[in-house]
Structure 1
Amino acid sequence: MAEKKQTGPKTGLSRRAALGSAASLVAVAGAASAGYAWGAHSEEGEQQNASDSYDFHGDHQTGIETPAQDRMHFASLNVKVKDRDELQELFEDWTTAARQLMAGQPVGREKPYQAPPDDTGEAMDLSAAHLTLTFGLGRSLFVDADGNDRLGLKDKMPPALIEIPKMSGDMLEENRSGGDLCIQACADDPQVAVHAVRNLVRIARGRAVIAWSQLGFGRTSSTSTSQVTPRNLFGFKDGTANLKTEDPELLDQHVWASSSNSEGSPDWMTGGSYCATRRIAMMIEPWDRAPLQEQEEIVGRTKKEGAPLSGGGEFDEPDFSMQGKTGPIIPADSHVRLMHPDQNKGVQMLRRGYNYTDGTDGLGHLDAGLFFIAYVCDPRTHFVPLLQTMMKSDAMSEYLRHTGSALFAVPPGVKDENDFLASGLFA
């Protein structure tokens, strides 16, 4: 999504200012107890807030092709609704709230003093911080474990929304996997992202409950050519060869779902995508004891510059045919070789992962690693085969433990004020 054009000051309108403005208007109108839509901004206020906000509306949801921010809060939810009408109402409510949140406005309406406020308030003094919100639908929303229709939506389930096959070496935890719905909130400020998820979950009360969540920091991939390649917790540059969003043809080929690149794709998913997540614990302490040469041969790149072991600079193409004294200079089981598009029929993923640290594992080791996120047009062709290769053959797997896994269908964007999230699903 293109960022809104800035016409006002570079600092966005604070949420405290929005609340103050709202209170003043209510007092003038003499209708505080009747309620008033939070975040009603003047034209000048909207211009100010445009400096660090993205437009919620568009052909695709935000948080996919948007340049990756530095902070993330990802949440998976299980629904409690009994029919599709209740689910639609939830999506409509989330759509309204998402518009407000991404504009840097408080959610909901002003309430009488004696009632709990709609907005939880922890982001009042903060601007929009380039918040993006991305919503997805899990397979379990459509069918239960026995394949039974849950909400009358089974015939709308995309064939690509599969169960990720169990992989050799998986150590998946049930309380970190799956889910009926997901919310991905990314922002420059962690409190803005947490506030967004907190309020969306609150709005869903009685209709959906949180199943698991993950905080992330320090993006582990560049999604734009304007971004510097970040480093993962192993200390290596990560995502050098990641698909970049400035190439719309590659996005159409590998990211946006359609009948041409995702067999059996339903019309309501056209322009959408699939979000594959894996919580990957890194064995930090053993890795830190490995010699630099071993680390570089496992990755297939130099640690300092991020250049392929075959030579050149970071962005030079690796030469997998180059031979060393004992075999290929880039080892056959190196991560770079096994994950490179040239070794996978040209398949690419748009990665938007994040580092995480969740304290210790109770044995004195860091509980830290990568919360892997990838957007693909079809997980059957663009995710599962690469995951199988990595789990089976990648030398790096010795230092990794996959503890969580989930897959979600991400509907296309909300077109305008009259549209709502996943509206095509209910047509």
Structure 2
Amino acid sequence: MSISGRKPPHPSRRGFLATAGSLVAAGGIGLTAEAATTPAPDKKRAGTPAAEPFWGARQSGILTPAQSHTYFAAFDLTTTKREDVVKLLQRWTEAAARLTRGEPAEPIPADQSVPAGDSADGLGLGPARLTLTFGFGAGLFTKDGQDRYGLAAHRPEALVDLPRFNGDQLVPARTGGDLSVQACADDPQVAFHAVRQLSAMAYDIAEMRWVQTGFSSQPPGEKTPRNLMGFKDGTRQPDQIDKVVWVGPEGPAWMQGGSYMVVRRVRISLEHWDRMNVDFQEKTIGRHKYSGAPLGKKKEFDEVDLDATDAEGNPVMPENSHVRLSHSSSNDGAEIYRRGYSYNDGVAFTAERWPPWKQGMLYDAGLLFVCYQRDPRTGFIKIFGNSSKFDMLNQFATHVGSGLFACPPGARPGGYIGQSLFEA
């Protein structure tokens, strides 16, 4: 009997592998359970400062212990003037420094007959550990074959156009963008308020292309949150995080100390998933649902053993499980740093791609997958190129939104995000 009380078919291991082999054309969920082989940093909230630092050599919101809520926004630049882009980044930087301290984006005007520089819906809420992380999309450098701002020569080689992966069903209105802002906070209103103020500052310079909210609930006393599929999400992170995340001397000078962010909106067929036996779910993921331990192990942070076999000689970790296919040893050592959130946007009319091919108003909910790496070609693209072809999660997940952004180093007081690019 499944945990929902229904009796779906109970696939055998042999049937599981056979079914998996037929799913090579599907799109994967994107590394929800396994990215490397060491425990993630403890995401403590108790005792953490109410305000996260904004100024610094590196942008906050990348390795910052994850907050409970996020509001991601991608923008299209509408101006033709380079100086407008610089002005916008300067205003955004100063506003971000104020917002992360819990202050209005701009001082409250003494003359109340003029428009205020802040909508005031965040007053009194405090900083709530707000971080604001800024990124540059390929469209900042060239768009429709044009070098709009004289930056084409400075586009990093690693800022590639993401390939079309197997199973992608990307919606243009939820894909791409010239600039990105990710607000993360322990209060959803604080995160939204911050992006709202930055968006208002972009009037006549940039317009919003797409947004996505997200949340992450961490059970008391546990290190790892659970996603909407009921599994612990983000158990493993790279051992050498700095080596995996930050761009080194191989990148252009203006990006050294920065990182590349891949963001993917992944709709999960929760109705389909909830009808699967827990045993099948565990074989799909490669972990025990309730403990979070790798299959065949007892504790969440036990090491994954991809070579273990059962009494019949079958792999304990199925060949098409998510853990095996996203493991660094299955991808020539490729690693990424994950910072994902769940999302729930209500319901929408959807036709499932897999049996029972249900159509109707289904949950529009799933994963806002976010990861950072020093080079997406040897990080996300390498790993997901493998998973998107063979991962059993593909029958439950559809990638409908996507973006790749170069997140430059942080800013010093008096400077602004991306300053070294525009002065290169």
Partner secondary structure for residue 193 of structure 1: helix
1:285 corresponds to which residue? 271
Post-superposition Cα deviations, 1:359-388, rounded to whole Å, max 9, x if no partner, equal 111322111100000011000111101111
Cα distance in 1 for residues equivalent to 2:176 and 2:218:
22
Cα distance in 1 for residues equivalent to 2:96 and 2:304:
42
2:6 corresponds to which residue? none
1:302 to 285, 288, 293: 288
Residue type of the alignment partner of 1:94: W
Partner secondary structure for residue 385 of structure 2: helix
Residue type of the alignment partner of 1:228: K
Residue type of the alignment partner of 2:400: T
Cα distance in 2 for residues equivalent to 1:204 and 1:251:
34
1:253 corresponds to which residue? 243
Unpaired runs of 5+ in structure 1?
A: 1-9, 12-49
Cα distance in 2 for residues equivalent to 1:330 and 1:251:
26
Report if the CA contact (8 A) 2:326-2:384 is conserved.
no
Where does 1:236-385 land on structure 2 (aligned, <5 Å)?
236-243=231-238, 250-260=240-250, 265-324=251-310, 325=312, 327-362=314-349, 363-385=360-382
Partner secondary structure for residue 379 of structure 1: coil
2:88 to 87, 90, 94: 90
Worse-superposed segment, 80-89 or 204-213: 80-89
Cα distance in 2 for residues equivalent to 1:391 and 1:361:
24
2:165 corresponds to which residue? 167
> Are 2:226 and 1:231 equivalent residues in the alignment?
yes
Residue type of the alignment partner of 2:268: M
Partner secondary structure for residue 361 of structure 2: coil
Post-superposition Cα deviations, 1:44-72, rounded to whole Å, max 9, x if no partner, equal xxxxxx94001111111010011010100
Shift of 1:181: 0.3
What is the TM-score when the length of structure 1 is the normalising length? 0.83
Cα distance in 2 for residues equivalent to 1:52 and 1:291:
42
Unpaired runs of 5+ in structure 2?
A: 1-45, 350-359
Post-superposition Cα deviations, 1:77-108, rounded to whole Å, max 9, x if no partner, equal 00112122211111111111011000100121
Report if the CA contact (8 A) 1:219-1:353 is conserved.
no
1:401 to 355, 375, 398: 398
Report if the CA contact (8 A) 1:77-1:180 is conserved.
yes
Partner secondary structure for residue 73 of structure 1: strand
Report if the CA contact (8 A) 2:71-2:212 is conserved.
yes
Cα distance in 2 for residues equivalent to 1:399 and 1:220:
23
Cα distance in 1 for residues equivalent to 2:346 and 2:80:
38
Shift of 1:155: 0.6
What is the TM-score when the length of structure 2 is the normalising length? 0.83
Report if the CA contact (8 A) 1:220-1:352 is conserved.
no
> Are 2:198 and 1:200 equivalent residues in the alignment?
yes
Shift of 1:220: 8.7
Post-superposition Cα deviations, 1:172-217, rounded to whole Å, max 9, x if no partner, equal 0001000000000000000000000000000111111100000001
Residue type of the alignment partner of 1:413: G
Report if the CA contact (8 A) 2:338-2:370 is conserved.
yes
1:152 corresponds to which residue? 150
The structure with the largest helix share of the pair is: 1
Cα distance in 1 for residues equivalent to 2:413 and 2:307:
54
2:74 corresponds to which residue? 76
Report if the CA contact (8 A) 1:220-1:239 is conserved.
no
Report if the CA contact (8 A) 1:310-1:320 is conserved.
no
1:45 corresponds to which residue? none
Cα distance in 1 for residues equivalent to 2:156 and 2:218:
29
Alignment: residue pair count: 365
Partner secondary structure for residue 361 of structure 1: strand
1:216 to 210, 214, 217: 214
Report if the CA contact (8 A) 2:341-2:368 is conserved.
yes
CA RMSD of aligned residues (A): 1.8
Where does 1:3-82 land on structure 2 (aligned, <5 Å)?
51-82=49-80
Shift of 1:219: 5.9
Residue type of the alignment partner of 2:135: G
Seen in structure 2, the aligned counterparts of structure 1 residues 313 and 227 have a Cα distance that, compared at 3 Å, is closer
Greater relative contact order: 1 or 2 (C-alpha under 8 angstroms, separation 6 or more)?
2
Residue type of the alignment partner of 1:318: V
Shift of 1:109: 3.0
Report if the CA contact (8 A) 1:101-1:196 is conserved.
yes
* Identical columns (%): 42
Seen in structure 2, the aligned counterparts of structure 1 residues 72 and 130 have a Cα distance that, compared at 3 Å, is same
Shift of 1:117: 1.2
Cα distance in 1 for residues equivalent to 2:300 and 2:133:
31
Cα distance in 1 for residues equivalent to 2:403 and 2:222:
27
Post-superposition Cα deviations, 1:225-270, rounded to whole Å, max 9, x if no partner, equal x961111111011111123xxx6xx23311001124xxxx210000
Cα distance in 2 for residues equivalent to 1:266 and 1:320:
38
Residue type of the alignment partner of 2:276: A
Seen in structure 2, the aligned counterparts of structure 1 residues 378 and 396 have a Cα distance that, compared at 3 Å, is same
Structure 1 runs, 4 residues or longer, greater than 2 Å off = none
2:26 corresponds to which residue? none
Partner secondary structure for residue 381 of structure 1: coil
Cα distance in 2 for residues equivalent to 1:220 and 1:322:
31
Cα distance in 2 for residues equivalent to 1:382 and 1:170:
18
Shift of 1:326: 5.8
Residue type of the alignment partner of 2:231: F
> Are 2:134 and 1:126 equivalent residues in the alignment?
no
